Structure 1
């Protein structure tokens, strides 16, 4: 039986039968098979499409649009699409009830593969004449905008040919749009439209339509299921206002006007707009407005407390100077602008009486100088002599120190822009001023003098080297201040790179007397620190390392100091590259010498030998695979024999194997792993047990996937399964080891960690070993400088903390705890939450907030600090769970504001109270206001100044709750 859509009865069926809408897929099938033509279908629908009843015509168009949506995009030919397009264009003249379906249907048409964009000319002509866009509902307006976007993306060249009528139609269509979702779409679409379609004489009209939304003053409705944020709209609007050079005059007048307003958001939006405008407007466009722009920028940069506003002003100034510098060689306006800035700020600097005033002014100059090579040259030429004079004029120590730091900043900017030759005369004066500063003999002057000299070291002339080195070597021999010692060593190192011969004679062979290194024991360690730093310079390496190794191999009592100095310096990657360390090992046999020394000291040493172990570990880490294997082969057998006699030698074995590369493997691995497992559980020495756990973790983490890993894992599992877990002495050691095993496995991304984490979780639930279980969790979540990191070639999965959080969460479901185990359980959560990214925590608010609140009850500083920090995070996000729990949270936080054992806890709790008052609605806070104000009074008299400061901030904020003019929803 022939279907109804093959007959003219189809029209009547559409009018009367709702079920016909369910038959569209069958109709499409017949069209695709060729049994039914689209033109025939339209003819058969004629009765409904021309029906006198508006609702019937709307129904007919809705039916046909549904069919169009189900036809594959590549099926209809160009001729068929032309027919359908013409049909839909004619329908635009129909009643307003029909229009929505027409707009929707035309979107399906323009998406078709064979659609010819030239069909759209007639469509837009009729659309803009017959349809008042802003009279349509939100979705219909969106469909109009989307059609324009799709056709622009399809053929921008044709769209240009539509001329001013099309542009005017677009302007009219969006004029008066108020829906935030549609506005966001328009703002994202308009820059592309403006860039591709010439506006002709309609520039001002287009700008007015866009600028009426500026600045965005919008707050989403709390009932909106898909709210658009004000900032999203503001960020999308600003590129529209500066999308094309033709907008320049209108845009600059607008933003200058808004910069002068008192509305903070208008100021920030205007500064952002000014910054973005520099990407599109011509430099000449800014010239008439420079005086007004600098006046506004200078005012906002000088704002006392609003850091966001100040930062935005600095970014705008930087962008403006960079843009203007492009016409520096052709227009005097650029130089005049920079000189105007200089005059303003030189006055501000000369009049400054505090460091804050000085720094505020100099930051502006640095921003301008950093923006372009041309501005940097003008500013540095003027300011370096000015600051040299300022140093002499201003006798206040803090201002002199600040001026030296500014000179270092100026030098580095000139270096960045490759201007040192052009301002050579000016920069050559800076080292002399540094010498003046370090001659003051007070720490503050010397530190800043040396630090600035390091920054300008290339300007140091040979005649100043000896005076500097005299002061530096005196400091190294006599100073007890760690900061001054460190900067002194760093300064000698910097001078040595420029004048190696002088430093060799005067310092290495002279003051430090490297060839009689230990004859003078006064300040030996300080001299050794200096020499080991200088040894990183090629000119110094051989003579210094050889003399140091002589001390080590001679079993001299001062050898430990040499080891300490070498360990500290060689681990500093800014001094020693891996290649440099490998070269030292290859040329001088450093590891052999240190191992020999360790062997002679290990049984009798009164002090820890950690510097020796670290030196070997760090040196091994820098070597290539082949050299690592050679060293292991040379020493392993002897060390294993020594371990069998005295387990303390295991520390030497561990430092050899800790830093090997992932592809290093030899026949001793299983034997060493078995020994490490035995010592981890049975050794009486805590350090040996710790080093055993280190090595087990490293072996598990670095073993290559496949047979090697499986062999090690089975050996470990079999050994631990044979242990007697009822032995109370071995239980804490087992849990400690479980922590390291879990850490090693989860960091390499192995799912096997779950098995060991389950064991730790069970121990946390057991009151007898719950604290050891929480300590194991701490091990897993904590970073260690000497274990399981990339420096030691370990695998470090970026997401391992997230995996720990997820697995611990699953294990915690339905857990039942005794009161004795509850604290350890919450403490374990604290260790996990502290290291888990906050974005992950946001997904588990309902689980975490009760834990954080519970954690405030325990007398444990680390636990309390983590949990308050978590609460602060959720408070700042205005989370509803916190708002619903204020009755419980506030008394506990108030109680912690007087926590005697920790100033940090008192400060954090006061910060939490401040954030609560600053984040939640007044109506939620008012019931607690008076009690909080009374309870905060004791903190105002706290013995610690930082606590008092935070107490004032918190109490002031609570005092403002509910006050007239408070900018919060009631």
Structure 2
């Protein structure tokens, strides 16, 4: 007996029998085998599809749609699809209950391989005429939008031919949409639609339908498991508003209106929209609106407290100037706009009485100047002479210093945009003003004068070199201030690059008397620092390094000062590149000279030895692998032998091996590793133990994956497993070493670090060594310039700190902590959290918030600073967990506003109080208001000005809690 779907009885079965819906797979099998034609199937269903009862017709369409969805997309022919398409189009005229199954079915039809987009014209015509989109449920509306989107992707050219009726239908279908998911889909789809389909005379209608959502004012339901946020919608809506140039006038009118509103979110959205619109709109479109735009931008940039708003306004100004500059030679609007900015800001500068007012005006000018080459030329040409005059006019030292810094900024912008030639006359005056400032005996004037000259060194004329050299030489020989000395050396270095012969004569051979370097003991160290800096310049290298090595080789008392100067300069990568250091080593044998000196001084144990070790390490790290191997082979055997007689020699061995490249390996590695392990655990000198840990960490981190690494690791693990952990002397050293091993492994991305991290956590749970355990965590999370750094060729996984956070979180889930070890445990968390990006913390809000609240009870400055910072981050994010714990948090934070041991703790506590009042609902805060206002009074009289300022800000904000018209956006 044939199944029911081969006869007209199928219609009755669909109406009466729910089980027929479970047999669609069998029907599809018969269709695919050729036993049943799909057209025959439709005829057999006629009784249900044309039934007088709406519910029965709806069942029939659902049944047929289910069959379609189970047929492979490449099975039906174009004629069959055409037949089905017409059938579905006809069903669009049916009762509204039938429509959902029709929309769902047609969405599947258009995905079929042989579907012709030409069939869609009739579909859209009937759809937009017969179906009111916004009368449908959310999913049906989504299906309509998705159908439009998919057909647009299939054949843009055909969709263009559908004309205004199609566009009007799209506009009508989305007009009034309120569901956030549907809106997010529409906002992501519309920019592509608008860019591809000409709107003709419907531009205004389309813009009105889109702009009615602007600015987005939406708050997701707290019960939504996957909510669409306001920011999601705002970010997606913005590109729709500037999608095509035809929107320009409507868009600019809209954003100017919103910029003038009092709603902060509307202002920020409008500034972002203005910035983005410059990517699409033509420069001429902005012409009629420039006066209003500048007025709005200037107002927002001048906002006193909202940094986000100010930054957005600066970005908008930059984008607008950049866009307008594209018409610099054809349209007067650009020049008029820049001149308007100049006039406004020159007035603001002239009237400024504080540095803050001055800087605010200069930032606007710098933003405009940095936007384009054309704006840079106009602004720098006008402002450099104005600032020079301003310096003479203003008697305030702070304003004069700020004006010189502004000149440096203008010069760098002119250099960046390549307009120095066009403003040569104005630029030539800058070094003279720098000399005037440097001639003052006030530190602040000298520093700003020298720093600005360094920035504008190319503008320095030869006639000013000698006056500068006289001042600089005097500073280097007589002044003691580190900042002035440092900037003086930098300035001489900068001048030397432009005028090497003059500096060689006046400074190197003259003031520094290089040929009799150590005869004059006066300010020798300062002169050596200057010479070692100059030695990085090719014209000076051979002469200076040669004389310095003579001093080192003589092993007299001045040799240590030469070592110190060279070590400081060569460690500065901005002065000495790898290639430069390698050249010096090749030409002068620097490492051999320094090692010889170290051999002779090893018994003295003076501080200068550390400079020698650092110099060797920083030199060898610059060499290629073959030269590193050569140096190691020359010195290793002798040093290992000397270590057996005097363990202080190990530091020489360590400085040689610490900086080698990962592919360097020789027969001594295992012996050195064993020596380092023995010293790390048994030597009584802290520095020797530290260097031993350094070296083991470097070996583990840099070893090539494979047998060598496995042997090295397993050997180290076996040796450590035999150590006596009950030895009170050995135990802290073991934990310290565990920290370095863990750090080396996690930085190279090895999972083996977890084994050692668990050992550290065991020590944290032990009252006798919990403090050492937390210190080991600090080692793992801290960056060290001389150990496991990129400069020394170490492997550094970019996300290793995030990985530490995730692993630490997982391992400590079920960890039991006794009261005696809780402080060390929370301190360990603080070391982790301090170095973890804040965004990563959002996955563990409740746990971290609880730890941070507990930490407020401990008298530990480092712990408090980190944890209050975490609380501030969560408060600013309006975290619910903290809102529910205000009765615990507020008394503890209030307590810390008078924390005697640290000004930073007091400031951060007050900042946290301000943010709490600024973030949470008034109804939560009112019960605490009066007590907090009283408790904040002592902070208003704090001996530190910064604390008093923060106290005023916090108390003012709490005073406003519950006040009429209170604005949480403040």
TM interval, shorter chain, is over 0.9
* Residue number in structure 2 paired with 1:461: 461
Corresponding position: 1:544 with 2:536:
no
* Residue number in structure 1 paired with 2:508: 508
Q: 1:792 to 1:546 in 2, by over 3 A?
A: same
Q: 1:601 to 1:953 in 2, by over 3 A?
A: same
Q: 1:878 to 1:436 in 2, by over 3 A?
A: same
Unaligned runs of 5+ in 1: none
Alignment of 1:794-833 (within 5 A): 794-833=794-833
* Residue number in structure 1 paired with 2:166: 166
* Residue number in structure 2 paired with 1:114: 114
* Residue number in structure 2 paired with 1:953: 953
Q: 1:242 to 1:579 in 2, by over 3 A?
A: same
Q: 1:203-236 deviations in whole A, cap 9, x for unaligned?
A: 2222222222223333334444443322332222
Corresponding position: 1:340 with 2:343:
no
Give the Å deviation of 1:955: 2.2
Rounded to whole Å, the distance in 2 between the matches of 1:267 and 1:835 is 34
* Residue number in structure 2 paired with 1:21: 21
Rounded to whole Å, the distance in 2 between the matches of 1:849 and 1:562 is 52
* Residue number in structure 1 paired with 2:837: 837
* Residue number in structure 1 paired with 2:377: 377
* Residue number in structure 2 paired with 1:236: 236
Kept after mapping to 1: 8 A contact 2:74/2:113 = yes
Q: 1:728 to 1:316 in 2, by over 3 A?
A: closer
Q: 1:300-331 deviations in whole A, cap 9, x for unaligned?
A: 33333333232222222222222222222122
Q: Which moved more, 1:308-317 or 1:583-592?
A: 308-317
Q: 1:316 to 1:106 in 2, by over 3 A?
A: same
Q: 1:678-727 deviations in whole A, cap 9, x for unaligned?
A: 11111121111111111111111111122211221232223223322332
* Residue number in structure 2 paired with 1:698: 698
Q: 1:928 to 1:296 in 2, by over 3 A?
A: closer
Give the Å deviation of 1:798: 2.5
Rounded to whole Å, the distance in 2 between the matches of 1:272 and 1:773 is 48
Question: Secondary structure, in 3 states, of the residue corresponding to 1:194?
Answer: helix
Give the Å deviation of 1:570: 0.5
Q: Which moved more, 1:510-519 or 1:823-832?
A: 823-832
Corresponding position: 1:937 with 2:909:
no
Q: 1:499-550 deviations in whole A, cap 9, x for unaligned?
A: 0000000001110111111111111111111111111100000001011111
Q: 1:782-804 deviations in whole A, cap 9, x for unaligned?
A: 21111112111111222333333
* Residue number in structure 1 paired with 2:211: 211
Q: Which moved more, 1:43-52 or 1:765-774?
A: 765-774
Rounded to whole Å, the distance in 1 between the matches of 2:243 and 2:639 is 73
Q: 1:845 to 1:298 in 2, by over 3 A?
A: closer
* Residue number in structure 2 paired with 1:965: 965
Corresponding position: 1:882 with 2:882:
yes
* Residue number in structure 2 paired with 1:896: 896
Q: 1:288 to 1:825 in 2, by over 3 A?
A: closer
Q: 1:692 to 1:754 in 2, by over 3 A?
A: same
Rounded to whole Å, the distance in 2 between the matches of 1:719 and 1:168 is 80
Alignment of 1:572-583 (within 5 A): 572-583=572-583
Q: 1:623-682 deviations in whole A, cap 9, x for unaligned?
A: 110000000000001111111111111010010001111111111111111111111111
* Residue number in structure 2 paired with 1:32: 32
Give the Å deviation of 1:297: 2.4
* Residue number in structure 2 paired with 1:624: 624
Rounded to whole Å, the distance in 1 between the matches of 2:546 and 2:154 is 74
Q: 1:354 to 1:767 in 2, by over 3 A?
A: closer
Rounded to whole Å, the distance in 2 between the matches of 1:873 and 1:321 is 35
Alignment of 1:392-541 (within 5 A): 392-541=392-541
Give the Å deviation of 1:575: 0.6
Corresponding position: 1:249 with 2:249:
yes
Q: 1:817 to 1:141 in 2, by over 3 A?
A: closer
* Residue number in structure 2 paired with 1:123: 123
Q: 1:772 to 1:263 in 2, by over 3 A?
A: closer
Unaligned runs of 5+ in 2: none
Aligned residues: 969
* Residue number in structure 2 paired with 1:718: 718
Rounded to whole Å, the distance in 2 between the matches of 1:614 and 1:251 is 61
Question: Secondary structure, in 3 states, of the residue corresponding to 2:356?
Answer: helix
Kept after mapping to 1: 8 A contact 2:221/2:227 = yes
Corresponding position: 1:45 with 2:36:
no
Q: 1:341 to 1:864 in 2, by over 3 A?
A: closer
* Residue number in structure 2 paired with 1:264: 264
Q: CA RMSD in A?
A: 1.8
* Residue number in structure 2 paired with 1:571: 571
TM-score by length of 2: 0.97
Q: Which moved more, 1:680-689 or 1:331-340?
A: 331-340
Alignment of 1:1-20 (within 5 A): 1-20=1-20
Rounded to whole Å, the distance in 2 between the matches of 1:260 and 1:838 is 34
* Residue number in structure 1 paired with 2:288: 288
Q: 1:729 to 1:297 in 2, by over 3 A?
A: closer
* Residue number in structure 1 paired with 2:142: 142
Question: Secondary structure, in 3 states, of the residue corresponding to 2:544?
Answer: helix
Q: Which moved more, 1:663-672 or 1:283-292?
A: 283-292
Give the Å deviation of 1:608: 5.1
Give the Å deviation of 1:36: 2.3
Q: 1:737 to 1:225 in 2, by over 3 A?
A: closer
Q: 1:756 to 1:920 in 2, by over 3 A?
A: same
Rounded to whole Å, the distance in 2 between the matches of 1:267 and 1:876 is 20
Question: Secondary structure, in 3 states, of the residue corresponding to 2:326?
Answer: helix
Question: Secondary structure, in 3 states, of the residue corresponding to 2:176?
Answer: coil
Q: Which moved more, 1:950-959 or 1:465-474?
A: 950-959
Give the Å deviation of 1:563: 0.8
Q: 1:797 to 1:261 in 2, by over 3 A?
A: closer
* Residue number in structure 1 paired with 2:868: 868
Give the Å deviation of 1:591: 0.5
Rounded to whole Å, the distance in 1 between the matches of 2:932 and 2:176 is 48
Rounded to whole Å, the distance in 1 between the matches of 2:745 and 2:837 is 20
Question: Secondary structure, in 3 states, of the residue corresponding to 2:272?
Answer: helix
Rounded to whole Å, the distance in 2 between the matches of 1:816 and 1:194 is 60
Rounded to whole Å, the distance in 2 between the matches of 1:558 and 1:88 is 97
Q: 1:829 to 1:357 in 2, by over 3 A?
A: closer
Question: Secondary structure, in 3 states, of the residue corresponding to 1:51?
Answer: coil
Question: Secondary structure, in 3 states, of the residue corresponding to 2:73?
Answer: coil
Rounded to whole Å, the distance in 1 between the matches of 2:299 and 2:819 is 60
Q: 1:724 to 1:214 in 2, by over 3 A?
A: closer
Q: 1:152-172 deviations in whole A, cap 9, x for unaligned?
A: 111111011011111111122
Rounded to whole Å, the distance in 1 between the matches of 2:294 and 2:887 is 51
Kept after mapping to 1: 8 A contact 2:563/2:612 = yes
Question: Secondary structure, in 3 states, of the residue corresponding to 2:329?
Answer: coil
Q: Which moved more, 1:274-283 or 1:120-129?
A: 274-283
Rounded to whole Å, the distance in 1 between the matches of 2:291 and 2:828 is 61
Q: 1:627 to 1:533 in 2, by over 3 A?
A: same
Rounded to whole Å, the distance in 1 between the matches of 2:234 and 2:808 is 41
Give the Å deviation of 1:458: 0.9
Give the Å deviation of 1:950: 2.0
Rounded to whole Å, the distance in 1 between the matches of 2:298 and 2:915 is 31
Give the Å deviation of 1:94: 0.3
Question: Secondary structure, in 3 states, of the residue corresponding to 2:621?
Answer: helix
Kept after mapping to 1: 8 A contact 2:560/2:608 = no
Alignment of 1:568-607 (within 5 A): 568-607=568-607
Question: Secondary structure, in 3 states, of the residue corresponding to 2:370?
Answer: helix
Q: 1:224 to 1:619 in 2, by over 3 A?
A: same
Corresponding position: 1:306 with 2:306:
yes
Rounded to whole Å, the distance in 2 between the matches of 1:800 and 1:898 is 37
Q: Which moved more, 1:540-549 or 1:838-847?
A: 838-847
Q: 1:968 to 1:395 in 2, by over 3 A?
A: closer
Kept after mapping to 1: 8 A contact 2:68/2:105 = yes
Q: Which moved more, 1:912-921 or 1:651-660?
A: 912-921
Kept after mapping to 1: 8 A contact 2:563/2:608 = no
Give the Å deviation of 1:136: 1.6
Rounded to whole Å, the distance in 1 between the matches of 2:172 and 2:335 is 44
Question: Secondary structure, in 3 states, of the residue corresponding to 1:192?
Answer: helix
